[in-house]
Amino acid sequence: MIELKGRTAIVTGAARGIGRATAIRLAGYGASVVAADIDADALASVIAEIVEQGGRAHATAGNLTDPDFPDQLVRSALDQFQGLDIIVNNAGYTWDSVIQKTSDEQFHAMLEIHTVVPFRIMRAASEWIRASAKREAVENPKLRKVVNVTSISGIDGNPGQAGYSAGKAAIIGLTRTMAKEWGRYNVNVNAVAFGLIDTRLTRAMEDQAAITVGERQVKVGMKSDVREQVARQIPLGRVGTVDEAAGCILFLSSPLSDYVTGEVLICSGGLHF
């Protein structure tokens, strides 16, 4: 059985989609969850659901791209639950266009949310992780987990996603570097590369409005014909669910993956071989 009781997890982008499903799943297996998102109202509903199911959770709402927010997030975990054992860097969004129409702001925004934010969160946690590992080394070594969310777009590339693909590729390099850097502190650092998972980022853009990111309005989603074309290429014959995505994150957050580090687990229904 998977047992996460006594462990504290940070999950970013926890208000919706894969992040929400992950926060609920980790809490269901006993972890105390610090859920982070820019949408305070949606985040509150996640916390309410976890608590209603008997779990422990705390909301830390704010803009993840604020340079001070990662330190605040780590402090929330330590103050609320006196520890930090699992970090899930999931927050992200798409802002797509072909390269000649991609502004510097747009490109940098994709790098910032998908690579810089995870870097800052790991940096913010590093002092506590290193000190804890040294303290525990003699009597009770404890394994901790980092799961970074990437995409098959970061592995294969994808037309119209220069910024998104670059950010998702960069997090793979950061993942493998931190696996080597933090191995001495008993931290497993892995990534999950998702394919077509049913979230607001992959639904038909004709059916939804733009999302608000800071002061920006960003149109997300896929053209219906493109989504249908990609879905037809999936060997399993269907789009993945957020619960299935969360299951992969759960595996890499659990003792089942204690001898796995520096890896990229691909969750695409066979879309990527």
Catalytic residues: 164
- Residue type present at position 75: R
Question: Which DSSP category does 238 fall into?
Answer: S
Q: What are the φ and ψ backbone dihedral angles of 257, each rounded to 5 degrees?
A: -110, 25
Contact 129, 184 (CB under 8 A): no
Distance, in Å, from the CA atom of 102 to the CA atom of 95, rounded to the nearest integer, reads 9
Distance CA 143, CA 62 (A): 29
Among residues 60, 93, 62, which one has the least CA distance to residue 74? Answer: 60
Q: How far apart are CA 271 and CA 273, in angstroms?
A: 7
Nearest to 16 by CA among 113, 91, 112, 109: 91
